[in-house]
């Protein structure tokens, strides 16, 4: 009841700026988006933009942070079991979220998006789903880190390809696919 006050105008401004940035990122890379055209698209005064953000990258960062938080909350209730069925089910649910009404995630995960964010997002998901590290205590820990990097980056590439080719596979198929590849590349 303190920081929430006077929020209607502010919230609308920030939301419309975020929406406009996502729309523009469908057309061009963020570096080529100007503050001027972003504000015209959002019908927000340029001065108002600078009152909230330093540049378009900071605006994107705020969208990314919100998304990470949202995904964390969403999958927090998921089972952490490492059985095949559990893992596939969990990943499938994440993919379903990506498919449906969350329009902006498709942009964030696309090739126009920020690879740093994409890695972080996948890492969060896989950690929660119990993909982190091998179960084999004999495995070299350093090698487990490398395995995880391989898995995360491979997954990002797969998801980008999936989005780019029009979501031809179902969420279940994608989940199964990543499971088989991730199990295959495990060092244990």
Site residues, a second copy (CB under 8 A):
29, 31-32, 111, 115-116, 119, 143, 146-147, 149-158, 161, 177, 180-182, 184-187
Contacting DNA (CB under 7 A), which of 30, 35, 172, 177?
35
How far, CA to CA in Å, does 141 sit from each of 101, 103, 126, 145, 148? 39, 38, 17, 7, 11
Q: Please report which helix (H) or strand (E) contains residue 123, including its range.
A: helix 115-128
**From DNA, a second copy, none, interface partner of 35 (C-beta below 5 to 8 A by class):** DNA
- Residue 19 tokens read as 């929406």
**From DNA, a second copy, none, interface partner of 147 (C-beta below 5 to 8 A by class):** a second copy
- Residue 181 tokens read as 């590849």
- Yes or no: say if 39 and 46 are a contact pair by the CB < 8 Å rule: yes
- What mask of x and - would describe binding to DNA in positions 7 to 26, judged by CB under 7 A? xxxx-xx-------------
- Yes or no: say if 140 and 124 are a contact pair by the CB < 8 Å rule: no
Write down the least CB distance from residue 186 to a second copy, Å.
Answer: 7
CA angle 71, 16, 43 (to 5 degrees): 165
- Yes or no: say if 67 and 108 are a contact pair by the CB < 8 Å rule: yes
Residue with Cβ nearer DNA (44 or 94): 44
- What mask of x and - would describe binding to DNA in positions 46 to 85, judged by CB under 7 A? xxx-xxx--x------------------------------
Dihedral sign from CA coordinates of 3, 61, 104, 28: positive
**From DNA, a second copy, none, interface partner of 6 (C-beta below 5 to 8 A by class):** DNA
Binding site for DNA (CB under 7 A): 1, 5-10, 12-13, 34-37, 43-48, 50-52, 55
């Amino acid at each position: 009841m303190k920081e929430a006050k006077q929020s209607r105008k502010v919230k609308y401004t920030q939301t419309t700026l975020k929406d406009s940035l996502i729309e523009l990122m469908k057309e061009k890379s963020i570096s080529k988006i100007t503050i001027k055209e972003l504000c015209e698209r959002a019908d927000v005064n340029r001065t108002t933009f600078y009152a909230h953000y330093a540049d378009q990258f900071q605006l994107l960062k705020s969208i990314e942070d919100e998304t990470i938080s949202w995904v964390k909350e969403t999958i927090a209730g998921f089972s952490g079991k490492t059985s095949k069925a559990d893992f596939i089910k969990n990943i499938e649910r994440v993919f379903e979220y990506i498919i449906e009404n969350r329009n902006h995630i498709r942009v964030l995960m696309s090739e126009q998006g920020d690879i740093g964010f994409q890695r972080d997002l996948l890492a969060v998901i896989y950690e929660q789903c119990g993909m982190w590290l091998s179960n084999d205590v004999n495995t070299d820990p350093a090698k487990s880190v490398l395995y995880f990097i391989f898995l995360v980056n491979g997954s990002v590439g797969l998801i980008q390809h999936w989005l780019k080719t029009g979501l031809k596979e179902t969420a279940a198929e994608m989940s199964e696919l990543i499971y088989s590849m991730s199990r295959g590349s495990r060092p244990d």
